[in-house]
Amino acid sequence: MLGELLPKLDCRPEFQWAGAFGSTSTGLPFIGSVPKHPRIQAVMGYGGNGITYSRVAAELIATALDGGKDLDADIYAFPC
């Protein structure tokens, strides 16, 4: 596109990057222990909102590792 607008410009990219954005059917990430593996905590499916949800995840996982249960834990729990 840029090359079409400015044909004399060298538009070859120096670097390229690609990433996968995982999302769930509800739009909420999964945060918590993995079903059938209660000692494994996982956080996934941020759906492009990971800056906010990684902060939420940090609170939930830290509370779980400390033996407690965050009030929002069920909202983000993995489906069984």
Ligand X SMILES: Cc1cc2nc3c(=O)[nH]c(=O)nc-3n(C[C@H](O)[C@H](O)[C@H](O)COP(=O)(O)OP(=O)(O)OC[C@H]3O[C@@H](n4cnc5c(N)ncnc54)[C@H](O)[C@@H]3O)c2cc1C
Contact residues for ligand X (CB under 6 A)? 19, 43, 46, 48-52, 54
| 31 CB-near residues (< 8 Å, 6+ apart) | 42, 43, 53, 56, 57, 60, 61, 73, 76, 77
To ligand X, the closest distance from the beta carbon of 12 in angstroms equals 21
Minimum distance of ligand X from residue 58's CB (angstroms): 7
Cβ-closest residue to ligand X?
50
Shortest distance in whole angstroms from residue 65 CB to ligand X: 15
Whose tokens are 């990430």? That residue is 29
